[in-house]
Structure formats: structure tokens, C-alpha cells
Structure 1
């Protein structure tokens, strides 16, 4: 079953990362306050980015990966600059 990983921007400027099998329906749920607690309290939301996968399990895995990223790294992904992602993954404390 196909799946999607997506990033929403909430009214307060925060990001929400999720996964679903039906992107359009899930965005509608978020907009109607039927989504996650994070988005419910920060309406309206706007879809900024999504990736499509052949299986929902892959989308879920990617969701968990992206959730752990810094805001700067998410912005880089949203802006379509994947070549900059490896540099942002470096733990700068380890470079000393």
C-alpha cells in the first residue's frame, strides 16, 4: 500500500511531520482539528513538503527519521536542497 511522509507548517510557525496512506484526506483531517494534538492547537496548517513511497512502512520510517532532524535541516529538505543535508547531519561538537 502506497504511503506518504509529509511536513506541515502550523499557524504558529512550528512544523509537524507525519505519514499516511491518503495525503489529501489526512491534510483535511488536520485542517478540521481531527489530526494530531500538535496541529489541533495550531490551526490552520499548510502542507509544505511530501514524499511518496511504495509502502506505508517506508513512509513511516522516513517520518521518524525526519522528526529527529533540526528545523534547519527540515527547511533545507523543504527548499529542495538535498545536497546540503549531509553537512547538516554532522555533529559540530565532534569536529573540535
Structure 2
């Protein structure tokens, strides 16, 4: 997990984080899963949510975010 954050900040991660203005990234939340299939399924479903639903999910899981527009 930490290695992934380091890779993103070096510009070696996902295409989205290769752009300098989107770095540095900061890990604010993570979950553990029993297997890769469950983890990827959860990530897929999370990405399909609206921004408001994502923010509510994080809030309901104890993530305190600064006020976002």
C-alpha cells in the first residue's frame, strides 16, 4: 500500500497521477480484503459512485476531510 503511494508520487503509478499537478497524492483511507477479487470488485463499485456518495462513504467510515467546494 505504501509502495503504491510512493510510485504515484514518483509519476510511475496510474495515468491519472502521472500529471505533476495531481501530485503529491495522499492516502486518506484503505480497507483490507481477503483476496484480490474482492478488493477489485469493491474498488470498481466505489469508482462508479457519484462524488457526493464517495464523500459520504468516507465520512461514514471516519475520514475527516476539509470542506470541499
Structure ranking higher on relative contact order (CA contacts 8 Å, 6+ apart) = 1
Quick check: which has more Rg, 1 or 2?
1
1:51 deviation in Å? 0.9
Higher helix proportion (structure 1 or 2): 2
Q: TM-score, normalised by structure 1?
A: 0.57
Q: TM-score, normalised by structure 2?
A: 0.77
Stretches of structure 1 lacking an aligned partner (at least 5 in a row)? 1-22, 83-96
Higher strand proportion (structure 1 or 2): 1
Aligned residues: 59
1:56 deviation in Å? 1.1
Q: What is the alpha-carbon root mean square deviation over aligned residues?
A: 1.2
| Cα distance between partner residues in 2 of 1:55 and 1:24 | 18
- Identify which of 1, 7, 10 aligns with 1:32: 10
